[in-house]
Amino acid sequence: MRNLFILAFLVFFFQLQAQNQQLVQKAIDHIAQKSGEWQLQKADYSDLVLSSMATSEKGITYIYLNQSYQGIPVRNAMSTIVLDAKGKVVSDAHNFISGIAEKVNTLTPVVLPEKAILHAGGHLGASFRGQPIAKGRSEKGQLLFSFPELTKSDISAELKLEKTGNSLSLVWNLQLDMVGSADYWDMNIDAVTGEFVSKHNYTTYCTHHHGAFDKHEKCEIGTFRKINRQATAVNKLLHTQQSAAASYTVYAIPVESPNHGDRSIAFDDAYPAASPFGWHDTDGVQGAEFTITRGNNVHAYQDKNDDDNPDGTDTNGGDNLKFDFPMDLTQDPRQSADAAVTNLFYMVNMMHDVSAQLGFTEEFGNFQQKNYSGKADGGDYVLAQAFDGISLHESGQTNPSKINNANFSTPSDGFNGRMQMKGVRCLLMHLKALKALFLNTEARNSVCLSLPETNPQLQVKWQL
Ligand SMILES: [Ca+2]
Ligand SMILES: [Ca+2]
Ligand SMILES: [Ca+2]
C-alpha cells in the first residue's frame, strides 16, 4: 500500500513538473511572439532564466523570467507573464533591455570578488584590517565569504550585468548584512574597475514622527473594521476545529496600541490556511515544537544588547501555551517584558496570516521556517527583537538610532526577516498635565528626562 502511495505521489509530482515546464515554455513563446512589438532582438530573450513561478488558489499562474546574457543575469530586467487556469496568457509586462549583445561591456571580471568586497566596505566608510575569507558556494551557486569585521553573516557575491547609462556593466552583486547597524545592503561593484555602481538597502526604518501615536480613527477605521471582520470570521472557523487553543493576552487587532483600547485574550488566532499547525509548529506535524514565543513564522525575543540573539530570557507559555503576563503601563516596560514580547509575537503572526490572505504566501516568498507546500524557500522566519539595543543606548555605547525607532530588514526569499523594535523615550501623560507642562518648556524637559528612558507602550503627546 505504501509503495502504491509513493508511486502515485511520484506520478503526480512528475505530472506537476511537466505541467509547470509547459507553462514556462508558453511564457517564453509568448515573449518571442511579442518581440517585434517590444523591440527585442533574438539575443535579448534567448537566454531567459526562471526566477520564480507561483500558482494562486484560483489556478492563476505567475511566471517571472529574468533576462540574462550568456548565463549572467541582468539586474532588475524581468518579465511577468500571467496565465489563467486554462494556461492562456492573460497579462504580460516586462522591462527587458533591447540590443543587449551590443551593450554588454565584458563578461570577464578583472576585479576579484574579495577586492570588490573591500571596495564596498570602503564606499561605506568602514574600517577593517583583514581580508574576506572564501567559504565556497551557496545552494544557489553564489560565492560566499566570511568577513566579520564588516558583516554579521556571510557575504554572497555573484556576477551580474547592471544598466549604467546606455550600456551594461559587469558587476559583483554583493549582499552585506552590516556590523554596527541594521543596514542590509544589496550593492554592486564594477567587476572591471572596482568602482561603486549602485546600492539598495533591504532595511526599512521607521522613526516616530510628530503625532505618530494619535488615534487616526477617521482614516484608519475602515481598515480596522475590515481586519476585524476577517479576524472574527477566522475565529469562528478556528473554534470549530479541535486544536489545542493557545491564548495570548495582548492588544488584539483591531486595537493598535494602549492608546486605542485595552488588552484582551486572543484564543489561538492562527489562520488555518496560513498557519495550519498553529503558531508554535515548525515541522508540519500536529503539536507545538516550542512553548516559547517561537514558531514557524516568527521568533520573538528580547535583544537588549543588540547582538541579534535572544538575551536568554524566553517568554514561555508552558504546555498549555497560555501567554498571560502582567503589564504595568506606569513602570519601565522591561518590567512587563513577557507581556511585550507576547504582543510582538502575536502581532507578527497576525501580519503573516492576514497578508497570506492577501496573497503573500509561502509560494510567493513569505517568511517561514518550513514551507508546508514545499514551494519556494523556507528557513526565513522573522527574528522579532524587543527592546533592541536598549542596554547599549543607556550605557552611551550607541547613537540615537537605538531609540524612538524601529526597522525591518527583508532580504531575498530564504533569508530571515529581522525586525528590531526600539524603545520610545517618554511617557504618556494625562492630557491636562501635559497642557500644564507645555506652558513651561523647562518643566516639560525636566519631566521628560526624569521619567524612565524607554517605554514602547507609552508616548508623550507633544502636539497639544
Ligand atoms: Ca509540530
Ligand atoms: Ca538586534
Ligand atoms: Ca520564504
Question: Do 252 and 372 reside in the same domain of the chain?
Answer: yes
Question: Do 54 and 181 reside in the same domain of the chain?
Answer: no
Question: Do 119 and 57 reside in the same domain of the chain?
Answer: no
Q: How far away, in angstroms, is 144 Cα from ligand 3 center?
A: 20
Q: How far away, in angstroms, is 186 Cα from ligand 3 center?
A: 18
Q: How far away, in angstroms, is 126 Cα from ligand 3 center?
A: 31
Choosing from 102, 135, 154, the residue where a domain stops is 102
Question: Do 236 and 371 reside in the same domain of the chain?
Answer: yes
Q: Could you tell me if residue 6 is inside a domain?
A: no
Tell me the whole-structure pTM to 2 decimals. 0.71
What is the average pLDDT across 94-117? 96
Confidence class for position 145, pLDDT limits 50, 70, 90: very high
Question: Do 398 and 446 reside in the same domain of the chain?
Answer: no
**Is the pLDDT reported for residue 253 higher than 90?**
no
Q: How far away, in angstroms, is 245 Cα from ligand 1 center?
A: 14
pLDDT tens string 443-459: 333 333 323 333 333 33
pLDDT tens string 254-288: 787 787 788 999 886 677 888 999 999 999 998 99
Q: Could you tell me if residue 370 is inside a domain?
A: yes
The CATH code of the domain that includes 373 is: 3.10.170.10
**Which residues keep their CB under 5 angstroms from ion ligand 3?**
377, 380, 413
Closest CA to 126 of 179, 52, 86, 79: 179
Q: Which grid coordinates belong to 421?
A: 523594535
pLDDT of residue 1: 45
Cα angle vertex 310, ends 264, 341, to 5°? 10
Confidence class for position 232, pLDDT limits 50, 70, 90: low
Question: Do 311 and 171 reside in the same domain of the chain?
Answer: no
**Is the pLDDT reported for residue 363 higher than 90?**
no
pLDDT of residue 450: 29
Average pLDDT, the chain: 81
Burial class (CB in 10 A: 0-12, 13-18, 19+), 400: exposed
Q: How far away, in angstroms, is 318 Cα from ligand 3 center?
A: 28
**Is the pLDDT reported for residue 212 higher than 80?**
no
What is the average pLDDT across 9-17? 52
**Is the pLDDT reported for residue 57 higher than 60?**
yes
Cis peptide before 276 (omega within 30 of 0): no
Sign of CA dihedral 209, 212, 217, 219: positive
- What residue numbers bound the domain in which 62 lies? 16-102
Q: Tell me which ligand sits closest to the C-alpha of residue 288.
A: 1
Q: Which grid coordinates belong to 341?
A: 514580547
**Is the pLDDT reported for residue 295 higher than 90?**
yes
Question: Do 135 and 98 reside in the same domain of the chain?
Answer: no
Q: What percent of the chain has pLDDT over 90?
A: 53
pLDDT of residue 267: 81
What is the average pLDDT across 169-173? 98
